[in-house]
Chains A and B, each alone.
Chain A
């Protein structure tokens, strides 16, 4: 059974940093791209970042480029999202999602439970 367990969320002040983790199990983690998707309170879904299966290439949406860094440790079956220079508009539930292949042309077949990140003073 595929499981994605997200941790590391919470309350942070504007300009602060936070690191999310997503522990994966039930599939060959190193064979699939992974993504982060967020959902602001009461709003729709927004893709944030994706990373290739081998971790050698990543891509992010423009609004987080230069502030957020996606990474992975295939030896630990874990995905990360390092979030710096956080803004109020980054407040959202963050989901990790498993891609259906390696990076391009993939949708998301499994999602983690989501974790709330609140950016507020």
Chain B
């Protein structure tokens, strides 16, 4: 399968713990996006990479959130000191050429107890 993969698919953690998610984009795609989706809502943009450079972050993104994309390949999204409000589906997407379709992974569902 050469699609976007995300790990883990599910994560349950206690409030105050740190969590890290991984996204492996389609290999030749140079653009990578992170979105967050809560129940009944559409995905919400978090941040965007072009190759290894993080070029944009949402104003809504707390400083507890950090993302990296070393060497322009896979990406990680870390949430420090998790809160119950962080419970959501975290989606990763990649694309090759601007304005063309974004390919989404299956997401990581985070539950903060």
Is the pairing of A and B real? no
A interface residue numbers (CB < 8 A to B): none
B interface residue numbers (CB < 8 A to A): none
